[in-house]
């Protein structure tokens, strides 16, 4: 097993990195100032890539590694992996589905609550001594009972719906196809969904079709009392248009865990009280990250042992 050369594209999880170093021959891409030279000099040894939602395996990386056999992604989303190129080259691909569903759904509800009840602002109000000095904090808007629209009713979308329903929220959704196994209201377009909900949650995979799926028209349909929550990928939302909609008051608020150019966040958002910003921590619990790491390791071990992969995608 130690003969398998594994390229780790980005510093991710200490436990994962330690275990990769113990079990395989580990190459850390970020330690080299020149990516192309690093890949060229180690291409004969690298047979596996471990990436995540920041740095995966693009076409250039795959082409630079002629002995590449498997890409084991430390994420559920695969938008940073060139799946077409992997299929062409016969490279196997795995991810970490299911295990992060609950944590991401928790964060989605938490963001909606934080935006509508102004939880970060209320916390700051107390810490600054304003409660004692100037009296009660201003009134906010309830989340319970509001209509929640979900873009993408997959594993995570369903988990969000389950939680929102517990708050007495009517659930509606938009996806590529209607889900007959649910009783939730289906809307055939995202514009129609946004026009008929109070909180719009983005939970679909990032593809060419869903890039900027939340554009100016969707934001205007959601309106000045509507709240956008994005726990999918930053590029689901047209970020410049989001900034404009919030600054101009055409959108009521936003709770964001993901951004188009992470870790860069538009500075115009920093001063807005109707926005809650998180540093892409949807799956960021000790419990989930350990299970995700074990899935990555298990897939690599299965590959080396010629056993069925645990979570195959390609």
Enzyme catalytic residues: 233, 262, 280
Burial 196-210 (b: 16+ CB within 10 A, else e): ebbbbbbbbbbeeeb
Strand partners, 230: 202, 256
Question: What's the rounded Cα separation, in Å, for the pair 240 and 262?
Answer: 14
H or E element at residue 227:
strand 227-230
Sequence-distant (6+) residues with CB within 8 A of 16 are 50, 74, 292, 293, 296, 297
Quick check: 20 and 297 in contact, CB under 8 A?
Answer: yes
Torsion 180-182-186-190 (CA) sign = negative
% helix, strand, coil for the chain, step of 5: 40, 15, 45
The b/e string for 156-180 (b: 16+ C-beta within 10 A; e otherwise) is bbbbbbebbeeeebbbbbbbeeeee
């Amino acid at each position: 097993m130690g003969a398998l050369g594994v390229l780790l594209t980005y510093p991710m999880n200490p436990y994962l990195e330690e275990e990769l170093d113990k079990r395989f021959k580990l190459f850390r891409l970020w330690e080299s100032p020149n990516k192309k030279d690093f890949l060229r000099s180690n291409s004969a040894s690298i047979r596996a890539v471990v990436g995540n939602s920041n740095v995966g395996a693009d076409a250039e990386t795959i082409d630079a590694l002629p002995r590449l056999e498997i890409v084991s992604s430390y994420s559920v989303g695969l938008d940073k992996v060139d799946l077409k190129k992997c299929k062409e080259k016969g490279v196997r691909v795995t991810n970490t589905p299911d295990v992060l569903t609950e944590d991401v759904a928790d964060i989605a509800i938490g963001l909606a609550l934080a935006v509508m009840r102004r939880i970060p602002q209320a916390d700051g109000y107390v810490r600054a001594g304003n409660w004692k000095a100037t009296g009660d904090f201003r009134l906010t808007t309830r989340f319970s009972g509001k209509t929640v629209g979900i873009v993408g009713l997959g594993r995570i979308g369903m988990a969000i719906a389950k939680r929102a329903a517990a708050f007495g929220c009517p659930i509606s959704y938009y996806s590529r196809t209607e889900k007959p196994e649910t009783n939730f209201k289906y809307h055939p377009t995202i514009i129609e969904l946004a026009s008929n909900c109070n909180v719009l949650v983005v939970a679909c995979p990032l593809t060419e079709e869903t890039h900027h799926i939340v554009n100016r028209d969707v934001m205007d349909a959601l309106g000045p009392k509507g709240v956008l929550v994005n726990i999918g990928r930053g590029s689901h939302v047209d970020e410049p248009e989001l900034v404009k909609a919030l600054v101009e008051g055409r959108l009521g608020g936003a709770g964001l865990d993901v951004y188009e150019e992470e870790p860069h966040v538009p500075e115009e958002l920093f001063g807005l009280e109707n926005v809650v910003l998180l540093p892409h921590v949807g799956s960021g619990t000790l419990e989930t990250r350990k299970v995700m790491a074990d899935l990555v390791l298990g897939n690599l071990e299965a590959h080396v042992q010629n056993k069925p992969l645990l979570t195959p995608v390609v």
